[in-house]
Amino acid sequence: MASHGSGALTIEEGGEVSNATGYLGYGSGSQGMITVTGGGSKWTNAEDLYVGYEGTGSLAVIDGGAVDVGRTLWASMGDLSGDGTITVGKGAVLDADLVFDAAHGNQQTLAFGTGGQLHLTIDGTESLGVGYKNAGTLTVAEGAAIDSSIGYLGYHAGSQGTATITGRGSRWTVSSGLRVGCGGSGTLTIEDGGEVSSSYGGILGLGPGSQGTVVITGGGSRWTNASALYVGYDGGSGTLTIEGGGEVSNTAGYLGRQSGSHGTTTVIGPGSRWTNAGELWVGYPGRGGIPSGTGSLTVADGGQVTADSLSIYYQSTVDLSVSGDDMLVLGTASTTGSVTNNGQINLHADAFLPAGTYRPISEYAGRTMTWSGSGSYSGVGGTWDQTAKTFTVMAPTAQDAGAAGPVVDGGRLVITDAISGRRVGVGFGDVPEGATFAAEPLGPAELAGLTGLLTAGEEVLAVWDFQTTLTGIPVLLSFEVDPQASGLAVWHFADETWSPCVPDFLVRSQAGVLSFTVTDFSAYAVTGVPEPATLILLAVGGLAGLGRRRA
């Protein structure tokens, strides 16, 4: 109905219309409206029904009218009106809040209009999703299991689809592909032992303007892909976070595939693992040194990534916050691992990491892998040996707050304020001869300017003022904060003004160390919402050392 202009159809007085697939508002800018009114009046769609495809659509079911959809309904609940009945036989992609739990199975009824009822059956053979043109949510909980062919979160431009799979035994099985951000914005959270499986892999951010975000958090939480995983594809942007013991597996992995795409993946925390049973591509090659897509991979705090091989392309990065050996393990029992680096590999060691020589990039079973490419390697807080392929971390130098001390290439400092006992860690890469560095608590007047910017419940968790002869050289700062605090943010004080800071590199360990790189030096603070017990301690006096003086 309405391929390019406007069209309307009324089915009334017991009339019936049947077709294969129905479209209300097919072409861009078109408008389609159908009214089904009166007892016995019926519209039968043997296959799918789209209420608004590229255009806009509305469906009114009134006074005993009925609509049947044999396969999948694609609609916003706000575009459905009336008090009649819509029956959907196999699947749905809706702007609605769908819940599958102990009380809500794969057959359920949703309300629309002025007493209308949408009888929905999800039988596993057709599409399932939320965020068709506007916003929708999907929750699988309490050990419930739901199946579909394709999964969609955020289908059209401007839409927002959010899914949460939570609790052990809760599962979403997709027999084809899962699309998180397919034109719109999609978010998938798998937590507390929930599971998702996709037989044909997954895509986070498919197409220009699309954004896909997936978080797998908690032991037993898994996303299993029987095919490739794309984080940012065909002009889209994707973000994948694996934390707290979560796991993701797939064949090949791609961060930023095709022109205009960007993919970001972070694997952090003990037991967190990304298994690629194939190649792992960070960025994608283009022509003339111009990348076809860009990517960034961060591995930290006991996380691990495995793959047959690793390829890093122009303008793409791999950041390793070194916490031990075997953070990147390449190769298999039958395939020699390889690294092709035409981008950047950056290694960081916070000041609280034990001294030693680490091998964060290793080959399966300890064999010798191949290394190639014209990309760069850098170390902050330690020294990368390009021949031995090891990262050496020296013992940190202890320094008092307010005292300026010398720094060396790859060196580290632990600066302690004697009054409060608070510490801050500092790590360096290559530094000029004779460079010095100092840190001390910030004065109360300057700190008051920050507290006035915070919202209810937020507190200043740590703040330090830095003085150095270094300019424009990346330095790794490591702030000790409440491990249970939420909503952490970094702030920078410059020209007597506080402003939010988004560092190029930022990781948070389970021990409560927030590390980030900076090149500008004055004061930095970390804010957040502390755990209630910690908040009491801060109020009693634990923050006394935060604001005492300024050089």
Q: pLDDT tens across 82-105, in order?
A: 999 999 999 999 999 999 999 999
Judged by DSSP in three states, 449 sits in: helix
User: Angle at Cα 419 formed by Cα 418 and Cα 423, nearest 5°?
Assistant: 55
Q: Are 82 and 61 in contact (CB under 8 A)?
A: yes
CA distances from 214 to 232, 253, 337, 436, 505 (A): 12, 15, 28, 42, 20
Is the pTM above the cut of 0.85?
A: yes
Q: What is the 3-state secondary structure (H, E, C) of 252-290?
A: CEEEEECCCEEEEEEEECCCCEEEECCEEEECECCECCE
> pLDDT tens across 344-362, in order?
999 999 999 999 999 999 9
pLDDT reported for residue 406: 97
Distance CA 334, CA 336 (A): 7
Query: Judging by beta carbons within 10 Å of its beta carbon (0-12, 13-18, 19+), is residue 540 exposed, middle or buried?
Result: exposed
Q: Give the pLDDT band of residue 547 (cuts 50, 70, 90).
A: low
Percent of the chain with pLDDT over 70: 95
- The H or E element containing residue 446 is helix 444-451
Mean pLDDT over each residue of the chain, to the nearest integer: 94
Query: How confident is the model over 521-535, as pLDDT tens digits?
Result: 999 999 999 987 554
Q: What is the pLDDT of residue 291?
A: 73
- Whether residue 511 has pLDDT greater than 80: yes
In the chain, the percentage of residues whose pLDDT exceeds 90 is 90
**The pLDDT value given to residue 218:** 98
pLDDT per position as a tens digit, 418-467:
999 999 999 999 999 999 999 999 988 889 999 999 999 999 999 999 99
Structure tokens at 347: 């290694």
pLDDT band at 5, cuts 50/70/90? low
